[in-house]
A and B are shown apart, each in its own frame.
Chain A
Amino acid sequence: MSQLNTTPEESQMAQVESTKPDFSAEGVAAPPTSLTRVAMRKFFRNPFAVVGLIVLLFFIVLCGFAPLFTHYNPATIDMLHASLPPGTDGHLLGTDEIGRDVFTRLLYGGRVSLIVGFCVAFCSVVVGTLVGAIAGYFGGWVDMILMRLVDVMNSIPSLLLNIMVLALFGSGFWLMIAVLSLTSWQYVARLVRGTFLQLREMQYVQAARAIGVSNWSIITRHLIRNSTAPIIVNATLQVGTAILVESALSYLGLGVQPPQTSWGLMLNNAQEFMLTNPMEAIYPGLCILLVVLAVNFIGDGLRDAIDPRTKLKISRRRLQKWRNRFSKSGI
């Protein structure tokens, strides 16, 4: 995945991985395996991560191509067909108290939740990387000021800040994305700063500096590329957090506003009609749970895949198997 991972263990592991076919009877040397492929292979061997990926793709397809799966409009009110039980008149999950198709609303609400999740994760990672990169690369007073900023941002409970801003400035889709991104970049900033502090002393960075590469190029071409792995893991986990926060804010009535809908807003609605229509509260929450679980599994899978230590644990067992086979083959 990156040159960052060329620690002794990792390269040793890569060797183990690439020498694996040598123990086979033919003894044909395999082509050298890149670290990215090692990580990929590790990722796809993790059943949780693969299931997570499938579930997430399922939801993305279902919500992204919502019009293909339903011909209802999520906001159309139809009092004649209100509160229908699931499965009647082509309403897969029934209708809510004012006759809107629940399945359709789930799909369109999922769009909002997923878009918010991915946008917020992307934006907060961009902001965090930028701040962390500048702080870590330049150090000194720049670092001091930016890190105090991180301290300040960390001291205000971010949920309170989100509620305050959204309530005062009026809630809306894009404002919510902006606010959530601006209150969740601190961890990435710390992470990137940490790696940059280590990496900037590396010889290849000094070499780049010596031949006159500009600061910007060093940061973007050498340093950021070498810290992508932890950033990607963190971005994945951020998607889940953002979806949870979005749903909480929408539940409080501060997120997306009707006629738009999101899973959180549907739950807000469902709580009011708990007595008459208890099933309505189940679906949106289940969707949130599944998507966030999926994203977290993917994130954990990625982290294990790029972490050289997890490799060691697995391969030791496998190594034993190869050794057994090797001794049996009698070479």
Chain B
Amino acid sequence: MTEYLIRRILQSVLVLFLVSVISFALMHAAPGGPLMVLLPKSGTQAAILQQEKNMGLLDPLPIQYLHWLGQLLHGNLGYTYKNHVPVGQILWPTVGNSLILMGVSWILSLLIAIPWGIYNSTRAYGLSDNISAAIGYLGFAMPAFWFGILLQEMFSLNLNWFPLSDMHSMNKQGDIGDLIWHLVLPVTVLVLGFLASYLKYSRASMLEVLHMDFVRTARAKGASEKRVIYRHALRNALIPIITVLGLDLPILVSGAVITENVFNWPGMGRLFVEMAFAREYAVLMAISLVSTVFVVIGNLVADILYAVVDPRVQLGKKGGAAA
């Protein structure tokens, strides 16, 4: 187990390193460096050169990369080109905002999807099962931003029930009720997306378990249907679901790019698009790195959880989860 963990962590570090190299290379392969945006007309050639020198943009690329990496390891994500603000200062608040939005949607969709999926598995091809299948197809095929726009038209422009966009009303920072009021529409959009896959997973995994021998044994020995489902089947059905949840962890940070843009939610996804248009290399690199870290951690957590909840899995052995 320990050996496996160490190997996995080393692998993750390697992946992170490669990702940082790739995003760094991409930034510097882009035509017209950041100064094209900053000093388009006013600066003379000499002024541009001087500016580039001050920012360290004239150093060889590997040196620039190492410099950036060294700073990064000290917790310094760099500075924006435009106002020379530390990247962390504008990034971390948006991470928090994204987490609020995604966390609420994620937990809500789990609370709906798992019980509903279990119910559907016991009454496969019934009405409720068909409804959830329809939700699945819709969730996979409907563009999230379109759903968002429709909700905005319906519930904020026509009915005026919920605010059109943003996270707070004017002068109402920190008011929980106001926040919840603003959360309703974007959370609805995100929950539909989550439900599509989670309903499918929980139903399929439960159906699979219900056909297993030990469930039949439990029924044969006279256990009540409730007991069969909740004590015998559910625990085993949860194993694959937990793995999927671990793999979905990174979505909590970067998954709402589109929804955040539709509803003008001040999260990391909106910041990313904004900064991509402004060519703020440092911010883009920081965001892609932060979300990659989450992906890697998510994968690791999924593997470990898998072994923790299922004693049959032995990590690191051939044929185990590591294979």
* CB contact under 8 A between A152 and B26, given known A157-B295, A281-B150: no
Residue interface bits B287-315, CB-to-A below 8 A is 1, else 0: 11001100110010000000000000000
Q: Which of A160, A248, A293 contacts B254 (CB 8 A)?
A: A160
- Please determine whether A160 and B15 come into contact, CB atoms closer than 8 angstroms: no
Question: B13-33, CB under 8 A of A: which get 1 and which 0?
Answer: 011101100110011001100
A267 touching B288 in the complex, CB below 8 Å, given contacts A164-B23, A248-B143, A251-B258:
no
Q: How far is the CB of A44 from chain B (nearest CB, A)?
A: 20
Q: Is the CB of A155 within 8 A of B146?
A: no
Q: When chains A and B are docked, how far (Å) is the Cα of A292 from the Cα of B147? A: 14
Q: Does B272 contact A (CB under 8 A)?
A: yes
Per-position binary interface string of chain A over residues 146-164, scored 1 when its CB falls under 8 Å from any chain B CB and 0 otherwise = 0010011011110111011
Check B149–A168 contact: CB distance below 8 A: no
Question: A155-B292, A163-B272, A168-B30 in contact; A274/B19 too (CB < 8 A)?
Answer: no
Assess whether A170 is interfacial by the CB under 8 Å rule. yes
Tell whether, in the assembled complex, residue A285 and residue B22 are in contact, meaning their CB atoms are under 8 Å apart: no
- Give B285 Cβ to nearest chain A Cβ, in Å: 9
- A296→B137 CA distance, assembly (Å): 8
**Which A residues touch B258, using CB under 8 A?**
159, 248, 251-252
Any chain A CB within 8 A of the CB of B79?
Answer: no
How many residues on B have C-beta within 8 angstroms of the other chain's C-beta atoms?
Answer: 48
Cβ contact within 8 Å between A170 and B140: no
B318 CB to closest chain A CB, in angstroms?
A: 15
How many Å from the CB of B279 to the closest CB on chain A?
Answer: 7
Given A157-B295, A160-B272, A296-B137, A244–B22 Cβ distance below 8 Å? no
Q: Are A164 and B26 in contact (CB under 8 A)?
A: yes
Instruction: Closest B residue to A154 by CB, please name it.
Output: B295
Note all chain B residues with C-beta closer than 8 A to A156: 19, 22-23, 288, 291-292, 295
Contact residue among B18, B143, B276 (Cβ-Cβ distance under 8 Å from A168) = B276
Taking a contact as CB atoms under 8 Å apart, the answer to whether B150 and A285 are in contact is yes
By beta carbon, the residue of chain A nearest B281 is A168
| Chain A residues with CB under 8 A of B272 | 160, 163-164
Q: Is A165 an interface residue (CB 8 A)?
A: yes
User: Are A168 and B26 in touch, CB under 8 angstroms?
Assistant: yes
CA gap between A152 and B157 in the complex, in Å? 43
Q: Is B209 interfacial (CB-CB < 8 Å)?
A: no
Residues of A within 8 A of B159 (CB): none
Q: Which residues of B contact A85 (CB under 8 A)?
A: none
- Which A residues are in CB contact (< 8 Å) with B141? 240, 244, 289, 292-293, 296
The smallest beta-carbon distance between B323 and chain A, in angstroms, is 12
The interface bits of chain B over 258-282 (1 if a CB of A lies within 8 angstroms of the residue's CB, else 0) are 1001100000000011001101000
> Could you tell me which residues of chain A, from 153 to 190, have a CB within 8 Å of some CB in chain B?
154-157, 159-161, 163-170
How many A residues touch B, CB cutoff 8 Å?
A: 43
Are B288 and A161 in contact, CB atoms less than 8 angstroms apart? yes
Q: Does A275 make an interface contact (CB < 8 A)?
A: yes
Report the separation of the CA atoms of residues A168 and B283 in the bound assembly, to the nearest whole angstrom: 13
What is the CB-to-nearest-CB distance from B34 to chain A, in angstroms, rounded to a whole number?
A: 10
Cβ < 8 Å to B, chain A residues 231-275: 240, 244, 247-248, 251-254, 264, 267, 270-271, 274-275
Most buried by A among B146, B153, B158, B299: B146
B19 neighbours in A (Cβ, 8 Å): 152, 155-156
Taking the closest CB of chain B, its distance from the CB of A89, in whole angstroms, is 25
Determine if B276 and A267 form an interchain contact, defined as CB atoms under 8 angstroms apart.
Answer: no
On chain B, the residues within 8 Å of A248 by CB distance are 143-145, 258
Known: A164-B284, A168-B276. A264 touches B157 (CB 8 A): no
Q: Which residues of B lie under 8 Å from residue A271 when comparing CB positions?
A: 149, 152, 262
At the interface, yes or no: A278 with Cβ under 8 Å from chain B?
yes
Look across to chain A and name the residue whose beta carbon is closest to the beta carbon of B278: A167
- Provide the residues of chain B in CB contact with A229, threshold 8 Å: none
Contacts A240-B141, A289-B142; A160 near B27 (Cβ below 8 A) = no
B157 contacts A275, CB within 8 Å? yes
What does the 1/0 interface line of A283-299 toward B look like (CB < 8 Å)? 01100110011001100
Please tell me if B167 contacts chain A, counting CB pairs below 8 Å.
no
CB distance B143 to A152 under 8 Å? no
B308 to chain A, nearest CB (A): 23
- Which 10 A-B residue pairings sit nearest by Cβ, starting from the closest? A285-B146, A167-B276, A168-B30, A292-B141, A293-B141, A157-B254, A152-B18, A155-B295, A281-B149, A155-B292
> Which chain A residues have a beta carbon within 8 Å of chain B's beta carbons?
148, 151-152, 154-157, 159-161, 163-170, 240, 244, 247-248, 251-254, 264, 267, 270-271, 274-275, 278, 281-282, 284-285, 288-289, 292-293, 296-297
Q: List 5 A-B contacts (CB under 8 A).
A: A156-B292, A160-B254, A165-B26, A166-B276, A271-B149
Q: A157-B255, A281-B149 are in contact. List 4 more A-B contacts (CB 8 A).
A: A156-B292, A156-B295, A160-B254, A252-B261
